[in-house]
Structure 1
Amino acid sequence: MTLWRIRATVDDRPGYLSVLTASLALRGVNILTVQVQPTEHGAVDDFLVDAPDTLDEAGLIAAVERGRGRDCWVTRSEARGLADQPTRVLGLATRLVRDPDATGEALRTLLGADAVSWRPASAGLDRGITGAGMLLADPAGGSFALQRAEPAFTPAEYARAQALVELAATVARRAADQVTLVLPDGAETAVRPATADDLSGVLELHESCSPLSRQRRYLGGASLPQPARLRRLLEPSRGVTLIATSTAPDGAADSVVAMANLLGEGDEAEVALLVRDDWQRRGLGSALLRRLVQHADRAGYAALLLHVQAENTPMLRTLHRLGRPSTVERDGALVTLTVPLAAERKGTFLTPNA
């Protein structure tokens, strides 16, 4: 027996796939896997089959055509083809998490492309499938161009490839966001996007903060937030949470010393900071706030919202150091500042009225 890959198009109507599989079965062909990809021209059926050694490429094509299949493409396969498509995609995704620079090779492996190249951004390029080519948008800028003589690309393959490119861009962006900050007093702290694995460290951060610091962060009280709420803050559905960690002089494990949240809602994003008491007034809050502004700019938010207690002078000074124009509204003891991001970057920061 010999392994083959067969791709053919059939009318997307009830029973047509069974006619094709019956035609293959009559010639002793064992279907190992099948994927059905809808297109505007019909259903593209992708088979991995085990066929008798006496059946060659021409015989397989003839069997497909007798089963009402058309646009048939047949090629020999190897044992590694036995891995189903979801398993292969997950394997490639794992590879990209470890090495996002391998995007081109991952695309080649995923689609069996003859050539993969990266092109700079150009207004004249249309993303999508054109004949034997595919053009994918790179979120980091530019496009990936793929060529494959046969079989023709399908919309399902385009969607898988685009998802893989976006995953690689996200991993690369997260890696770039991991920085070491050197504060004015010479202290160093590592800043990176938070994950769900940081929950225990963030719980310790809240326990280490004074009731006043927690009250200023959450406005409604000084009690410790529930773990479920912190999990949502660590991985918001829209936005990003940054944490700052510090290594103890004795080489103990890293401890979380600050958390900065950017929570998106509509075209605006709300910002909040929590810095451990012994790390306050050292420039860490200002550095984290600037990085959140950069994230908001990249994400395309129109404005930032910051809710601050009127007596929270340290936070107001931190906001002032941003050097961005803003509007200020006061409701009793609460001050709401709106920082537009699409407007001019220069201007005078407005402080709340007494």
Structure 2
Amino acid sequence: MTLWRIRATVDDRPGYLSVLTTSLALRGVNILAVQVHTTERGAVDDFLVDAPDTLDEAGLVAAVERGRGRDCWVARSEARGLADQPTRALALATRLVRDPDSTGEALRTLLGADAVTWRPAPAGAGNGLADTLMRLDDPLGGSYALRRAVPGFTPAEYARAQALVELSAAVARRAAEQVTLVLPDGAEAAVRPATVDDLPGVLELHEGCSARSRHRRYLGGATVPSAARLRRLLEPAGGVTLLATAGGDAGQPEPVVAMANLIAEGDEAEVALLVRDDWQRRGLGSALLRRLVRHAEQIGYAALVLHVHAENAAMLRTVRRLGRPTPTERDGALVTVTVALVEGASTRHG
């Protein structure tokens, strides 16, 4: 038996796919996988098949045409073709997360393209499909051009390629957002946006903090929050969570020493910080707060809101150092501080 890839177009009507598969089955062809691409010309069916050694390319084309298929393309396949398309796409996505610079090669592998080129100019009016040519805008600037002699590209393949390019751009942006802070005492800490993959490190951060520090952060208790709650904090909708890492052993990931959350609340955003005890009073909290202020301004929030224990004098000083109007409201042991971001914007706390 021999592995083949077959691509053919059939009318997008009930029963037509079964006519094609029956024609292949009558010749001893075993269909291992099938994908259906909807196009304006009909349904493009992409098969991975195992055919008898006596059946050559011409015989497969004839079987497809007898099954009401047209525009047939047939080519030998390899054992790696047995991996289904979602599995291949996930493997390529994993590769891009590790190496965003491999976007061109990932596109070539995903689509079996003959050539992939990057140009500094955007795709512009030519963005999209033209049978054997695909153009994709690069979100980071420029564009990709993919060519494949046969078979022609389909809209489904275009969508997959665009998703891969957007993933690569997102990974590259995240890497660019990482900065290294040099604190007043000379210590260095790397700051970057958090992802759900940081959950183990954030759990270790909470476990390494004193009960007093956790109580100041979460106000209502000193226990370590559940994994589910921390996971939601790592990628808040409409906001951002920054992590500071430092002091790792050689060859090991650097431990998380601070976490700063910005969580959307209408036209305002709530801010909260947790800094490991041995990194407190070293300027790290102030640096993280300033970065959250800049992020909130870029998004367009009117104000930041912080809920702080009245006895947490260090945090209140950190907020005042921003040099912005900070009206406060006290309710027992809790102080709510509002940091205005937009001049003249109204706030809930006066």
Distance 2:133 2:234 in 1: 40
Deviation at 1:117, TM superposition (A): 1.9
TM normalised by structure 2 equals 0.81
Aligned partner of 1:60 in structure 2 is 60
Aligned partner of 2:18 in structure 1 is 18
Specify the code of the residue in structure 2 equivalent to 1:198: G
Aligned partner of 1:196 in structure 2 is 199
Bigger Cα displacement from structure 2, 139-148 vs 246-255: 246-255
RMSD: 3.6
Identity score, percent? 70
SS at match of 2:262: strand
**Structure 1: where are the runs of 5+ without partners?**
341-346
Distance 1:146 1:249 in 2: 43
SS at match of 1:8: strand
Aligned partner of 1:224 in structure 2 is 223
Distance 2:325 2:144 in 1: 40
Structure 1 residues 266, 92: closer, same or farther in 2, change over 3 A? farther
Specify the code of the residue in structure 2 equivalent to 1:143: S
Structure 1 residues 315, 119: closer, same or farther in 2, change over 3 A? farther
Deviation at 1:326, TM superposition (A): 6.7
Deviation at 1:263, TM superposition (A): 2.7
Distance 2:250 2:40 in 1: 65
**Does 2:333 correspond to 1:334?**
no
Structure 1 residues 109, 353: closer, same or farther in 2, change over 3 A? closer
Q: How is 1:184-333 mapped onto 2 (pairs within 5 angstroms)?
A: 184-194=184-194, 195-205=198-208, 207-208=209-210, 210=212, 213-218=213-218, 220-227=219-226, 228-247=228-247, 255-264=255-264, 269-293=269-293, 295=295, 300-303=299-302, 305-309=304-308, 311=310, 314-315=314-315, 317-319=317-319, 321-322=321-322, 330=329, 333=335
Structure 1 residues 258, 23: closer, same or farther in 2, change over 3 A? same
TM normalised by structure 1 equals 0.80
Specify the code of the residue in structure 1 equivalent to 2:36: V
Deviation at 1:265, TM superposition (A): 5.7
Aligned partner of 1:343 in structure 2 is none
Q: How is 1:71-220 mapped onto 2 (pairs within 5 angstroms)?
A: 71-120=71-120, 122=122, 124-125=124-125, 127-194=127-194, 195-205=198-208, 207-208=209-210, 210=212, 213-218=213-218, 220=219
Deviation at 1:67, TM superposition (A): 0.9
Distance 2:302 2:4 in 1: 56
**Residue 115 of structure 1 contacts residue 148 of structure 1 at CA under 8 Å; is this kept in 2?**
yes
Structure 1 residues 248, 40: closer, same or farther in 2, change over 3 A? closer
Deviation at 1:56, TM superposition (A): 3.1
Distance 2:10 2:249 in 1: 68
SS at match of 1:117: strand
Aligned partner of 1:344 in structure 2 is none
Give the number of equivalent residue pairs: 341
Deviation at 1:109, TM superposition (A): 0.4
Structure 1 residues 225, 25: closer, same or farther in 2, change over 3 A? same
Distance 2:100 2:190 in 1: 21
- CA distances 1:279-310 after superposition (whole Å, capped 9, x unpaired): 33322123223433555567x45555332449
